[in-house]
Chain A
């Protein structure tokens, strides 16, 4: 039973390019969360998605960042026109819902480390 799978594990981009990070949740999980960990900082929530829906994007920067979780395929976190400040580890987590009757436990992937030159 594979865990949360993220790819690529490492990504290098030049300023102005686009970065696409992919996340496949655990089998049976239909809820995905993206977190960002800046160097020497804690993890910060970015966005929470269900299949074909964005539920909470309160932590997502207003510009250049977008996320989707299509009916088929992995969730995608897209960063357009990357800047050096986007360099970070981006973690995806998944959970089994509905939360009622569920522990609400989140399972994390290994992360995708973005370096912007």
Chain B
């Protein structure tokens, strides 16, 4: 059974810092990995998707890497801003499955 863990559970940083969010998964036979953002009381916004054959994806100030063999992904946020404050969720789809398995999320607060 796939299990996804995100560390840290919560993070508070001053504006402008570069930061790294970590995600680990137990079963390396994944189809893809997705990073989402969730604002309080809102839905999920897809940030980046990494196919199992890829090593990283970039979008603006966000960069996500994938090391499938070690079961790890990181989300790098450059020059953080207060508007980045949200919960960041990591999720994987297994090769043999149909559903996303989510981590518990990292609650990020960026202070002005």
Contact = CB atoms under 8 A, between A and B. Distances in A.
Given A55-B98, A56-B99, A108-B36, A103 B49 contact: yes
Interface residues of B, number: 24
Contacts of B46: 105-108
B44 A91 contact: yes
B102 A59 contact: no
Interface in B1-52: 31-32, 34, 36, 41-46, 49, 51
Chain A interface size, as a band, is 20 to 34
Contacts, number: 58
A99 interface: yes
Contacts of B49: 103-105
Contacts of A109: 43
B89 A43 contact: yes
B104 interface: yes
Nearest to B45: A108
B47 to A, nearest CB: 11
Interface of A: 33, 35, 41-45, 48, 55-56, 59, 91, 93, 99, 103-111, 113
Give 6 nearest A-B pairs by CB, closest first: A45-B99, A110-B43, A108-B44, A43-B102, A48-B98, A42-B104
Interface of B: 31-32, 34, 36, 41-46, 49, 51, 89, 91, 93, 97-105
